[in-house]
């Protein structure tokens, strides 16, 4: 255990919040525990289950890796925040007026209801995965001549090996739904959610998270950088310790390599994957979780405070985007019936149908012009 008295440690200027004692009378609340910072001695409170605890005074990260095993995380980085609360709202507002699907004046109509800073912990497991595999490949050959010519299949033993490097981020908390947007920022997950309301032709507007390097732009962890953006009191502790992050990365790679190997032969009989872990880093990613409301409805936006961009967001589809989609579809249908009208002499119904669809498109636009967003 670290020493409780900390002679020579920096004086703690702000009073520590007095945490509710866990008396027997109150069992319902979350269990708050305390440990002393291994560097400055400041008391660090944390919730039961949290095991990667960063001191908001000196920035040291203490990891509770099992009974009596308290270590300091040395490889400890930060994506420096470059956007405070107002800048985050500015970034989100810029995003709200961008693109075909959103109304240009959307930022002027919304009310910002919540701006929550969070500095999220990620483990970055740098490793190399080596896989050897062997199996059987189904092949075919033509045998015989003339009439007795036929195709014969046969099996051929095949084998191979491949190596891949990984820097996979592992979110250091159990529950990816406790904060909005966290699960959306995994590569390949849907991150942009258009709200179509009652409109039925829901064409496009959503987006998936690209595969990007979470370590890009990192610096050594600095509590002062977080203080500049007023985010130092919003560091989220990790629940998943380094060892578990490592094994979760291993399992992910083994599964990935299994799938990859199985694509290389008709039958894969034997796969052996070895993983060399080159290093594990803890990276803190500063984000702003924003909520705005429009016409009585709430929408979420997650802003990357370091890269200054929207990572994930919900936005209502503008009325003119809907009208454009509606009109294109209805005019196309009208055009099809008009062509039928031209090619079939003297029949009235294709022209009437074309007129109904074309007229509906025009009526929808007129109605759009009069309606509120």
DSSP 209-254: -----TTTT-EE--HHHHHHTT-GGGBPPBSS-HHHHHHHHHHHHH
- On the 0-12 / 13-18 / 19+ scale of CB atoms within 10 A, 240 is buried
The interface region with Zn ion, picked from 58-66, 154-162, 169-177, 329-337 by CB under 5 A, is 58-66
Task: Find, among 233, 343, 218, 192, the residue nearest to 282 by Cα.
Answer: 218
Q: How far is CA 354 from CA 329, 332, 336, in A?
A: 12, 9, 8
**Radius of gyration over every alpha carbon of the chain, rounded to an integer in angstroms:** 29
Residue 116 C-beta: closest distance to Zn ion, Å: 24
The interface region with Zn ion, picked from 40-48, 126-134, 277-285, 330-338 by CB under 5 A, is 40-48
Write out the two tokens for 277: 């872990």
39 is a contact residue toward Zn ion (CB under 5 A):
yes
Report d(CA 148, CA 249) in Å as an integer.
Answer: 55
253 is a contact residue toward Zn ion (CB under 5 A):
no
Q: Which is nearer to Zn ion, 54 or 103 (CB)?
A: 54
Cβ contact 101:318 at 8 Å: yes
Q: Which is nearer to Zn ion, 53 or 268 (CB)?
A: 53
Q: Which is nearer to Zn ion, 33 or 159 (CB)?
A: 33
Report d(CA 68, CA 348) in Å as an integer.
Answer: 88
Cβ contact 153:328 at 8 Å: no
Q: Which is nearer to Zn ion, 39 or 312 (CB)?
A: 39
Q: Which is nearer to Zn ion, 57 or 123 (CB)?
A: 57
Task: Find, among 262, 256, 302, 278, the residue nearest to 117 by Cα.
Answer: 302
Residue 2 C-beta: closest distance to Zn ion, Å: 10
Residue 14 C-beta: closest distance to Zn ion, Å: 13
Residue 16 C-beta: closest distance to Zn ion, Å: 12
Q: Which is nearer to Zn ion, 171 or 221 (CB)?
A: 221
Tell me which of 12, 32, 35, 58 binds Zn ion, using CB under 5 A.
Answer: 58
Residue 63 C-beta: closest distance to Zn ion, Å: 14
Q: Which is nearer to Zn ion, 64 or 333 (CB)?
A: 64
The interface region with Zn ion, picked from 17-25, 49-57, 144-152, 359-367 by CB under 5 A, is 49-57
Residue 72 C-beta: closest distance to Zn ion, Å: 10
Report d(CA 23, CA 226) in Å as an integer.
Answer: 34
Residue 40 C-beta: closest distance to Zn ion, Å: 3
Report d(CA 2, CA 253) in Å as an integer.
Answer: 36
Tell me which of 52, 53, 55, 91 binds Zn ion, using CB under 5 A.
Answer: 55
User: Could you say which DSSP state residue 88 is in?
Assistant: H
60 is a contact residue toward Zn ion (CB under 5 A):
yes
Residues 8-37, one symbol each (x = binds Zn ion by CB under 5 A, - = not), give -----------------------------x
Report d(CA 307, CA 7) in Å as an integer.
Answer: 40
Q: Which is nearer to Zn ion, 12 or 277 (CB)?
A: 12
Write out the two tokens for 229: 């953006």
Q: Which is nearer to Zn ion, 72 or 108 (CB)?
A: 72
Residue 44 C-beta: closest distance to Zn ion, Å: 7
Residue 242 C-beta: closest distance to Zn ion, Å: 19
Pairing of β 267-294 and β 76-78: parallel
Residues lying near Zn ion in the complex (CB under 5 A) are found at: 37, 39-40, 42, 55, 57-58, 60
């Amino acid at each position: 255990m670290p020493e409780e008295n900390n002679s020579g440690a920096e004086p703690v200027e702000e009073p520590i919040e007095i945490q509710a004692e866990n008396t027997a009378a109150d069992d319902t609340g979350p269990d708050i525990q305390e440990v002393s910072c291994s560097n400055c001695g400041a008391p660090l409170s944390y919730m039961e289950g949290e095991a990667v605890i960063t001191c908001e005074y000196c920035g040291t990260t203490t990891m509770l890796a099992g009974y009596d095993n308290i270590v300091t995380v040395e490889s400890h980085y930060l994506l420096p925040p470059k956007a405070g609360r107002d800048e985050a709202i500015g970034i989100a507002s810029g995003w709200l007026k961008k693109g075909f699907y959103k109304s240009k004046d959307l930022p002027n109509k919304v009310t910002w209801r919540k701006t929550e800073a969070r500095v999220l912990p990620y483990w970055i497991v740098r490793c190399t995965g080596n896989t050897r595999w062997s199996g059987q490949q189904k092949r075919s050959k033509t045998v015989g001549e003339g009439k007795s010519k036929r195709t014969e299949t046969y099996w051929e033993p095949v084998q191979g090996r491949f190596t891949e490097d990984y820097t996979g981020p592992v979110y250091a908390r159990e529950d990816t739904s406790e904060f909005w947007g966290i699960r959306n920022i995994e590569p390949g997950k849907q991150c942009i959610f258009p709200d179509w309301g009652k409109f039925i032709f829901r064409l496009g507007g959503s987006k998936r998270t690209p595969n990007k390097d979470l370590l890009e732009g990192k610096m050594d962890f600095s509590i002062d950088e977080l203080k500049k953006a007023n985010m130092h009191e919003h560091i989220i502790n990790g629940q998943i310790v380094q060892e578990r992050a490592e094994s979760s990365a291993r399992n992910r790679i083994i599964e990935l390599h299994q799938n990859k190997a199985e694509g290389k032969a008709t039958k894969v009989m034997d796969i052996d994957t070895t993983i060399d872990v080159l290093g594990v880093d803890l990276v803190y990613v500063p984000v702003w979780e924003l909520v705005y409301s429009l016409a009585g409805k709430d929408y979420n936006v997650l802003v990357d405070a370091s890269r200054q961009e929207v990572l994930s967001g919900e936005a209502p589809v503008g009325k003119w985007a809907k009208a454009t989609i509606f009109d294109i579809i209805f005019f196309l249908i009208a055009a099809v019936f008009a062509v039928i009208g031209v090619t079939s002499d003297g029949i009235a119904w294709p022209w009437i149908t074309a007129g109904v669809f074309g007229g509906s498109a025009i009526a929808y636009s007129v109605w759009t012009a009069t309606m509120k967003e």
